[in-house]
Structure 1
Amino acid sequence: MTKLHIFDMDGTLLRGTASVEISRRVGQLEAAMAIEEGWVRGEISDVQFWELCLPLWQGITDADIDEAFEAAPWIDGVEAVFADIAQRGEYSAVITQSPQFFAERLLRWGVGSVYGAGVEPGGRAGSDLLLTADDKVVIATKLMADYGLTEADCVAYGDSSSDVPLFRRLRHTVAVNGSETIRKLAAVVYDGCDLREAYAAGRSLLSDGGANGPERDRHRADTCA
Protein backbone atom coordinates (compact mmCIF):
# COMPACT_ATOMS: atom_id res chain seq x y z
CA MET A 1 0.00 0.00 0.00
CA THR A 2 1.19 3.51 -0.79
CA LYS A 3 1.72 6.38 1.67
CA LEU A 4 0.72 10.01 2.15
CA HIS A 5 3.09 12.76 3.35
CA ILE A 6 1.47 16.01 4.54
CA PHE A 7 3.57 19.15 4.99
CA ASP A 8 2.93 22.50 6.58
CA MET A 9 4.63 25.35 4.71
CA ASP A 10 5.51 28.39 6.86
CA GLY A 11 8.17 27.45 9.39
CA THR A 12 8.39 23.89 8.03
CA LEU A 13 9.29 24.08 4.35
CA LEU A 14 9.81 27.83 4.45
CA ARG A 15 12.12 29.38 7.03
CA GLY A 16 9.76 32.26 7.68
CA THR A 17 6.32 33.14 6.31
CA ALA A 18 4.88 33.72 2.87
CA SER A 19 3.29 37.01 3.93
CA VAL A 20 6.67 38.44 4.92
CA GLU A 21 8.34 37.27 1.70
CA ILE A 22 5.56 38.71 -0.48
CA SER A 23 5.71 41.99 1.45
CA ARG A 24 9.48 42.10 1.15
CA ARG A 25 9.11 41.91 -2.62
CA VAL A 26 6.77 44.93 -2.78
CA GLY A 27 8.74 47.06 -0.31
CA GLN A 28 6.36 46.58 2.62
CA LEU A 29 8.57 44.45 4.87
CA GLU A 30 8.40 46.73 7.92
CA ALA A 31 4.60 46.89 7.79
CA ALA A 32 4.32 43.12 7.36
CA MET A 33 6.64 42.44 10.29
CA ALA A 34 4.51 44.68 12.52
CA ILE A 35 1.37 42.78 11.46
CA GLU A 36 3.05 39.42 12.10
CA GLU A 37 4.20 40.51 15.55
CA GLY A 38 0.71 41.73 16.45
CA TRP A 39 -0.78 38.42 15.34
CA VAL A 40 1.76 36.41 17.35
CA ARG A 41 0.94 38.49 20.45
CA GLY A 42 -2.76 37.74 19.94
CA GLU A 43 -3.63 41.38 19.29
CA ILE A 44 -4.77 40.68 15.72
CA SER A 45 -7.27 37.99 14.70
CA ASP A 46 -6.80 35.78 11.64
CA VAL A 47 -9.29 37.84 9.63
CA GLN A 48 -7.73 41.12 10.78
CA PHE A 49 -4.33 39.79 9.78
CA TRP A 50 -5.43 39.50 6.16
CA GLU A 51 -7.42 42.74 6.28
CA LEU A 52 -4.11 44.43 7.07
CA CYS A 53 -1.86 42.40 4.76
CA LEU A 54 -3.86 42.22 1.56
CA PRO A 55 -3.90 45.98 0.87
CA LEU A 56 -0.11 45.97 1.07
CA TRP A 57 -0.05 43.72 -1.99
CA GLN A 58 -2.43 45.72 -4.17
CA GLY A 59 -1.15 45.64 -7.75
CA ILE A 60 1.38 42.83 -7.27
CA THR A 61 2.01 40.87 -10.47
CA ASP A 62 2.46 37.14 -11.07
CA ALA A 63 6.10 37.91 -11.88
CA ASP A 64 6.50 39.58 -8.47
CA ILE A 65 5.00 36.54 -6.74
CA ASP A 66 7.27 34.23 -8.73
CA GLU A 67 10.30 36.24 -7.65
CA ALA A 68 9.18 36.31 -4.01
CA PHE A 69 8.70 32.55 -4.12
CA GLU A 70 12.08 31.85 -5.70
CA ALA A 71 13.94 34.21 -3.36
CA ALA A 72 12.26 32.91 -0.20
CA PRO A 73 14.41 31.05 2.37
CA TRP A 74 13.27 27.48 1.74
CA ILE A 75 14.71 24.67 3.82
CA ASP A 76 17.18 22.57 1.85
CA GLY A 77 16.01 19.51 -0.05
CA VAL A 78 12.35 20.38 -0.68
CA GLU A 79 12.36 19.42 -4.37
CA ALA A 80 14.37 16.28 -3.68
CA VAL A 81 11.85 15.10 -1.09
CA PHE A 82 8.86 15.68 -3.36
CA ALA A 83 10.68 13.86 -6.17
CA ASP A 84 11.45 10.87 -3.97
CA ILE A 85 7.84 10.60 -2.80
CA ALA A 86 6.58 10.66 -6.39
CA GLN A 87 9.19 8.16 -7.55
CA ARG A 88 7.99 5.71 -4.91
CA GLY A 89 4.42 6.06 -6.15
CA GLU A 90 3.38 7.81 -2.93
CA TYR A 91 1.37 10.98 -2.37
CA SER A 92 2.40 14.39 -1.04
CA ALA A 93 0.37 17.43 -0.01
CA VAL A 94 1.03 20.87 1.43
CA ILE A 95 -1.67 22.30 3.68
CA THR A 96 -1.03 25.87 4.80
CA GLN A 97 -2.81 28.87 6.25
CA SER A 98 -0.81 31.07 3.87
CA PRO A 99 -2.24 32.17 0.50
CA GLN A 100 -3.00 29.55 -2.10
CA PHE A 101 -1.67 31.88 -4.81
CA PHE A 102 1.81 31.65 -3.25
CA ALA A 103 1.80 28.06 -1.99
CA GLU A 104 0.54 26.59 -5.27
CA ARG A 105 3.88 27.39 -6.84
CA LEU A 106 5.16 24.35 -4.95
CA LEU A 107 3.36 22.30 -7.60
CA ARG A 108 6.22 23.28 -9.90
CA TRP A 109 8.58 21.58 -7.46
CA GLY A 110 6.67 18.32 -7.60
CA VAL A 111 4.29 18.31 -4.64
CA GLY A 112 1.13 16.36 -5.38
CA SER A 113 -1.46 18.87 -4.14
CA VAL A 114 -1.59 22.22 -2.33
CA TYR A 115 -4.25 23.71 -0.07
CA GLY A 116 -4.09 27.30 1.20
CA ALA A 117 -6.15 30.37 2.04
CA GLY A 118 -8.28 31.71 -0.80
CA VAL A 119 -7.30 35.34 -0.25
CA GLU A 120 -6.05 37.50 -3.13
CA PRO A 121 -3.87 40.64 -3.20
CA GLY A 122 -6.05 43.68 -2.63
CA GLY A 123 -9.11 41.46 -2.10
CA ARG A 124 -11.37 40.80 0.86
CA ALA A 125 -10.45 38.77 3.93
CA GLY A 126 -13.59 36.94 5.01
CA SER A 127 -13.43 33.96 7.32
CA ASP A 128 -14.87 31.80 4.51
CA LEU A 129 -11.61 32.29 2.59
CA LEU A 130 -9.30 31.22 5.39
CA LEU A 131 -7.87 27.80 6.15
CA THR A 132 -7.88 26.94 9.86
CA ALA A 133 -5.91 24.43 11.92
CA ASP A 134 -9.02 22.24 12.08
CA ASP A 135 -9.36 22.45 8.30
CA LYS A 136 -6.00 20.69 8.05
CA VAL A 137 -7.56 17.64 9.69
CA VAL A 138 -10.59 17.79 7.38
CA ILE A 139 -8.40 18.00 4.27
CA ALA A 140 -6.06 15.24 5.48
CA THR A 141 -9.02 12.96 6.23
CA LYS A 142 -10.47 13.54 2.76
CA LEU A 143 -7.12 12.86 1.11
CA MET A 144 -6.76 9.57 2.98
CA ALA A 145 -10.27 8.57 1.91
CA ASP A 146 -9.65 9.59 -1.71
CA TYR A 147 -6.43 7.56 -1.83
CA GLY A 148 -7.85 4.59 0.08
CA LEU A 149 -5.37 5.02 2.93
CA THR A 150 -5.59 4.82 6.71
CA GLU A 151 -3.94 6.99 9.36
CA ALA A 152 -1.21 4.35 9.64
CA ASP A 153 -0.23 5.18 6.04
CA CYS A 154 0.13 8.91 6.66
CA VAL A 155 2.88 11.08 8.17
CA ALA A 156 2.60 14.80 8.93
CA TYR A 157 5.42 17.36 9.13
CA GLY A 158 4.84 20.66 10.93
CA ASP A 159 6.22 23.25 13.31
CA SER A 160 3.59 25.26 15.17
CA SER A 161 0.12 25.75 16.61
CA SER A 162 -1.60 25.40 13.24
CA ASP A 163 -0.41 21.79 13.15
CA VAL A 164 -1.64 20.80 16.62
CA PRO A 165 -5.02 19.29 15.61
CA LEU A 166 -3.40 17.23 12.85
CA PHE A 167 -0.61 16.04 15.15
CA ARG A 168 -3.23 15.01 17.70
CA ARG A 169 -5.10 13.08 15.03
CA LEU A 170 -2.19 11.24 13.44
CA ARG A 171 0.26 8.79 14.97
CA HIS A 172 3.16 9.43 12.60
CA THR A 173 4.29 13.04 13.07
CA VAL A 174 7.57 14.93 12.66
CA ALA A 175 8.19 18.31 14.30
CA VAL A 176 10.47 20.31 12.00
CA ASN A 177 12.23 23.09 13.93
CA GLY A 178 9.06 23.08 15.99
CA SER A 179 7.60 25.06 18.84
CA GLU A 180 7.53 23.58 22.34
CA THR A 181 3.89 22.54 21.97
CA ILE A 182 4.35 20.70 18.69
CA ARG A 183 7.54 19.03 19.90
CA LYS A 184 5.65 17.48 22.79
CA LEU A 185 3.04 16.04 20.43
CA ALA A 186 5.43 14.77 17.75
CA ALA A 187 6.63 11.20 17.43
CA VAL A 188 9.96 12.55 16.14
CA VAL A 189 11.58 15.96 16.60
CA TYR A 190 13.93 17.25 13.90
CA ASP A 191 16.01 20.42 14.23
CA GLY A 192 18.05 21.36 11.22
CA CYS A 193 18.32 22.74 7.72
CA ASP A 194 17.51 19.82 5.43
CA LEU A 195 14.04 18.45 4.75
CA ARG A 196 15.60 15.21 3.51
CA GLU A 197 16.62 14.41 7.07
CA ALA A 198 13.18 15.17 8.51
CA TYR A 199 11.65 13.10 5.71
CA ALA A 200 13.96 10.17 6.55
CA ALA A 201 12.66 10.34 10.10
CA GLY A 202 9.11 10.27 8.77
CA ARG A 203 9.85 7.26 6.62
CA SER A 204 11.25 5.45 9.65
CA LEU A 205 7.95 5.96 11.45
CA LEU A 206 6.06 4.44 8.53
CA SER A 207 8.39 1.46 8.38
CA ASP A 208 8.61 0.61 12.07
CA GLY A 209 5.09 1.46 13.17
CA GLY A 210 5.82 4.65 15.06
CA ALA A 211 7.62 5.88 18.11
CA ASN A 212 6.80 7.10 21.57
CA GLY A 213 8.05 10.54 22.35
CA PRO A 214 11.45 11.99 23.18
CA GLU A 215 13.55 8.86 22.80
CA ARG A 216 13.18 9.29 19.03
CA ASP A 217 14.19 12.99 19.07
CA ARG A 218 16.80 13.96 16.50
CA HIS A 219 18.86 17.12 16.71
CA ARG A 220 21.48 18.80 14.56
CA ALA A 221 24.07 21.23 15.87
CA ASP A 222 24.51 23.26 12.70
CA THR A 223 22.36 26.28 11.97
CA CYS A 224 20.55 27.21 8.78
CA ALA A 225 22.22 29.81 6.59
Structure 2
Amino acid sequence: MIPLDRILVSGALLLSLQIAQATEGRTVFTQGGQNPAAMACIGCHGADGMGMAAAGFPRLAGLPAGYLSKQLADFRSGSRKNPIMEPLAKALSDSEIQSVSAALAAMPTPKTPVVRRQQMASSPDEKLALYGDWSRGIPGCVQCHGPGGLGVGEHFPPLVHQPASYLVAQLNAWRDGTRSNDTNQLMVGVAKALNDEEVKAVADYFANRIGQEGTQ
Protein backbone atom coordinates (compact mmCIF):
# COMPACT_ATOMS: atom_id res chain seq x y z
CA MET A 1 0.00 0.00 0.00
CA ILE A 2 1.40 3.43 -0.98
CA PRO A 3 2.00 5.67 2.06
CA LEU A 4 -0.34 8.65 2.33
CA ASP A 5 2.52 11.14 2.54
CA ARG A 6 3.93 9.87 -0.77
CA ILE A 7 0.52 10.24 -2.41
CA LEU A 8 0.21 13.79 -1.10
CA VAL A 9 3.69 14.72 -2.35
CA SER A 10 3.00 13.24 -5.78
CA GLY A 11 -0.30 15.10 -5.98
CA ALA A 12 1.35 18.37 -4.99
CA LEU A 13 4.07 17.91 -7.61
CA LEU A 14 1.49 17.17 -10.30
CA LEU A 15 -0.54 20.23 -9.36
CA SER A 16 2.61 22.35 -9.39
CA LEU A 17 3.49 21.10 -12.89
CA GLN A 18 -0.03 21.80 -14.13
CA ILE A 19 0.05 25.34 -12.74
CA ALA A 20 3.46 25.94 -14.33
CA GLN A 21 2.24 24.67 -17.70
CA ALA A 22 -0.88 26.83 -17.54
CA THR A 23 1.20 29.90 -16.66
CA GLU A 24 3.64 29.22 -19.50
CA GLY A 25 0.77 28.71 -21.94
CA ARG A 26 -0.90 32.00 -21.03
CA THR A 27 2.45 33.78 -21.27
CA VAL A 28 3.13 32.45 -24.77
CA PHE A 29 -0.38 33.42 -25.84
CA THR A 30 -0.27 36.97 -24.46
CA GLN A 31 3.44 37.84 -24.52
CA GLY A 32 5.22 35.33 -26.72
CA GLY A 33 7.88 32.72 -26.05
CA GLN A 34 11.31 33.05 -24.53
CA ASN A 35 12.81 33.36 -28.01
CA PRO A 36 11.97 36.88 -29.31
CA ALA A 37 11.01 35.35 -32.67
CA ALA A 38 8.11 33.52 -30.97
CA MET A 39 5.55 36.31 -31.16
CA ALA A 40 2.44 36.37 -28.98
CA CYS A 41 -0.58 34.55 -30.44
CA ILE A 42 -2.88 37.34 -29.27
CA GLY A 43 -1.57 39.74 -31.92
CA CYS A 44 -3.11 37.81 -34.82
CA HIS A 45 -5.66 35.52 -33.19
CA GLY A 46 -7.32 38.02 -30.85
CA ALA A 47 -7.57 38.37 -27.10
CA ASP A 48 -10.28 35.72 -27.04
CA GLY A 49 -8.46 33.40 -29.43
CA MET A 50 -11.36 33.55 -31.87
CA GLY A 51 -9.26 34.85 -34.74
CA MET A 52 -9.62 37.90 -36.96
CA ALA A 53 -11.97 37.24 -39.83
CA ALA A 54 -11.07 40.37 -41.79
CA ALA A 55 -7.43 39.29 -41.96
CA GLY A 56 -8.16 35.58 -42.38
CA PHE A 57 -6.53 34.62 -39.08
CA PRO A 58 -8.22 31.48 -37.71
CA ARG A 59 -9.89 30.69 -34.45
CA LEU A 60 -7.62 28.79 -32.06
CA ALA A 61 -9.73 28.90 -28.89
CA GLY A 62 -11.31 25.58 -28.01
CA LEU A 63 -9.48 23.57 -30.67
CA PRO A 64 -8.12 20.23 -29.36
CA ALA A 65 -4.67 20.54 -27.81
CA GLY A 66 -3.44 17.54 -29.78
CA TYR A 67 -4.52 19.12 -33.05
CA LEU A 68 -2.92 22.46 -32.19
CA SER A 69 0.39 20.93 -31.09
CA LYS A 70 0.52 18.85 -34.29
CA GLN A 71 -0.02 21.94 -36.46
CA LEU A 72 2.74 23.81 -34.62
CA ALA A 73 5.05 20.81 -35.01
CA ASP A 74 4.20 20.66 -38.72
CA PHE A 75 4.91 24.37 -39.15
CA ARG A 76 8.20 23.83 -37.35
CA SER A 77 9.21 20.92 -39.59
CA GLY A 78 7.98 22.62 -42.75
CA SER A 79 5.41 19.93 -43.56
CA ARG A 80 2.77 22.67 -43.32
CA LYS A 81 3.64 25.95 -45.02
CA ASN A 82 2.90 29.47 -43.81
CA PRO A 83 5.34 32.40 -43.94
CA ILE A 84 4.17 33.74 -40.57
CA MET A 85 3.74 30.53 -38.61
CA GLU A 86 6.84 28.63 -39.75
CA PRO A 87 9.46 30.90 -38.11
CA LEU A 88 7.22 31.42 -35.07
CA ALA A 89 6.81 27.68 -34.50
CA LYS A 90 10.54 27.09 -34.95
CA ALA A 91 11.19 29.63 -32.19
CA LEU A 92 8.96 27.81 -29.68
CA SER A 93 10.34 25.12 -27.41
CA ASP A 94 8.64 21.74 -27.08
CA SER A 95 7.37 22.78 -23.67
CA GLU A 96 5.96 26.05 -25.00
CA ILE A 97 4.16 24.24 -27.82
CA GLN A 98 2.50 21.85 -25.39
CA SER A 99 1.66 24.60 -22.92
CA VAL A 100 0.15 27.08 -25.37
CA SER A 101 -1.80 24.28 -27.08
CA ALA A 102 -3.33 23.29 -23.73
CA ALA A 103 -4.07 26.93 -22.89
CA LEU A 104 -5.81 27.53 -26.21
CA ALA A 105 -7.81 24.32 -25.94
CA ALA A 106 -9.12 25.46 -22.55
CA MET A 107 -10.28 28.87 -23.80
CA PRO A 108 -14.08 29.32 -23.97
CA THR A 109 -15.92 29.58 -27.27
CA PRO A 110 -19.44 30.76 -28.17
CA LYS A 111 -22.02 28.04 -27.85
CA THR A 112 -23.20 26.73 -31.20
CA PRO A 113 -26.30 24.54 -31.20
CA VAL A 114 -26.02 21.08 -32.68
CA VAL A 115 -28.60 20.67 -35.42
CA ARG A 116 -30.07 17.68 -37.13
CA ARG A 117 -28.84 17.33 -40.69
CA GLN A 118 -32.34 16.98 -42.10
CA GLN A 119 -33.38 20.21 -40.40
CA MET A 120 -30.60 22.20 -42.04
CA ALA A 121 -30.27 20.72 -45.54
CA SER A 122 -32.55 23.28 -47.16
CA SER A 123 -30.19 24.49 -49.90
CA PRO A 124 -27.58 22.95 -52.25
CA ASP A 125 -24.77 24.50 -50.20
CA GLU A 126 -26.09 23.00 -46.96
CA LYS A 127 -26.60 19.64 -48.61
CA LEU A 128 -22.97 19.58 -49.77
CA ALA A 129 -21.70 20.48 -46.29
CA LEU A 130 -23.98 18.02 -44.52
CA TYR A 131 -24.35 15.15 -46.97
CA GLY A 132 -21.61 15.62 -49.55
CA ASP A 133 -21.93 14.27 -53.08
CA TRP A 134 -21.10 10.58 -53.12
CA SER A 135 -21.45 10.42 -56.89
CA ARG A 136 -18.14 12.33 -56.94
CA GLY A 137 -16.65 10.71 -53.84
CA ILE A 138 -17.27 13.75 -51.62
CA PRO A 139 -18.42 12.94 -48.06
CA GLY A 140 -20.36 15.49 -46.05
CA CYS A 141 -18.05 17.65 -43.93
CA VAL A 142 -19.98 16.76 -40.78
CA GLN A 143 -19.33 13.05 -41.29
CA CYS A 144 -15.77 13.64 -40.09
CA HIS A 145 -16.02 17.00 -38.32
CA GLY A 146 -19.07 16.09 -36.27
CA PRO A 147 -22.68 17.32 -36.09
CA GLY A 148 -22.84 20.91 -37.21
CA GLY A 149 -19.07 20.95 -37.76
CA LEU A 150 -18.32 21.13 -34.03
CA GLY A 151 -15.24 18.91 -34.36
CA VAL A 152 -14.37 15.35 -33.37
CA GLY A 153 -11.21 14.44 -31.46
CA GLU A 154 -7.73 15.59 -32.35
CA HIS A 155 -7.80 14.87 -36.08
CA PHE A 156 -11.04 16.60 -37.10
CA PRO A 157 -11.09 20.17 -35.77
CA PRO A 158 -14.17 22.39 -35.48
CA LEU A 159 -15.20 24.21 -38.65
CA VAL A 160 -17.75 26.53 -37.04
CA HIS A 161 -16.52 29.92 -35.84
CA GLN A 162 -13.70 29.81 -38.39
CA PRO A 163 -13.49 32.73 -40.86
CA ALA A 164 -14.72 31.78 -44.32
CA SER A 165 -11.55 33.25 -45.83
CA TYR A 166 -9.43 30.91 -43.69
CA LEU A 167 -11.47 27.84 -44.64
CA VAL A 168 -11.27 28.79 -48.33
CA ALA A 169 -7.51 29.26 -48.06
CA GLN A 170 -7.03 25.84 -46.45
CA LEU A 171 -9.25 24.03 -48.95
CA ASN A 172 -7.38 25.70 -51.80
CA ALA A 173 -4.05 24.77 -50.20
CA TRP A 174 -5.11 21.12 -50.16
CA ARG A 175 -6.32 21.46 -53.76
CA ASP A 176 -3.05 22.89 -55.07
CA GLY A 177 -0.79 20.70 -52.95
CA THR A 178 0.69 23.40 -50.73
CA ARG A 179 -0.89 21.70 -47.71
CA SER A 180 -0.80 17.95 -47.26
CA ASN A 181 -0.41 17.32 -43.52
CA ASP A 182 -3.86 15.83 -42.99
CA THR A 183 -4.41 12.34 -41.62
CA ASN A 184 -4.31 9.70 -44.36
CA GLN A 185 -4.55 12.47 -46.97
CA LEU A 186 -8.32 12.62 -46.45
CA MET A 187 -8.65 16.35 -47.06
CA VAL A 188 -6.45 16.31 -50.15
CA GLY A 189 -8.88 14.00 -51.94
CA VAL A 190 -12.00 15.83 -50.76
CA ALA A 191 -10.71 19.30 -51.60
CA LYS A 192 -9.54 18.32 -55.07
CA ALA A 193 -13.04 17.06 -55.85
CA LEU A 194 -14.58 20.50 -55.11
CA ASN A 195 -14.80 23.33 -57.60
CA ASP A 196 -14.23 27.01 -56.76
CA GLU A 197 -17.91 27.74 -56.12
CA GLU A 198 -18.28 24.71 -53.84
CA VAL A 199 -15.20 25.65 -51.82
CA LYS A 200 -16.66 29.09 -51.16
CA ALA A 201 -20.13 27.69 -50.44
CA VAL A 202 -18.92 25.18 -47.85
CA ALA A 203 -16.70 27.78 -46.16
CA ASP A 204 -19.54 30.30 -46.03
CA TYR A 205 -21.91 27.71 -44.60
CA PHE A 206 -19.75 26.96 -41.57
CA ALA A 207 -18.60 30.56 -41.06
CA ASN A 208 -22.22 31.76 -41.10
CA ARG A 209 -23.34 29.21 -38.53
CA ILE A 210 -22.17 31.67 -35.87
CA GLY A 211 -25.16 32.61 -33.76
CA GLN A 212 -27.64 30.50 -35.73
CA GLU A 213 -30.57 29.07 -33.87
CA GLY A 214 -31.17 25.35 -33.87
CA THR A 215 -32.26 22.33 -31.89
CA GLN A 216 -30.59 19.11 -30.95
Same fold (TM over 0.5): no
Q: TM-score, normalised to structure 1's length?
A: 0.30
Which protein is richer in strand relative to its size?
A: 1
Could you say which structure has the larger radius of gyration? 2
Considering fraction of residues, name the structure with more helix.
Answer: 2
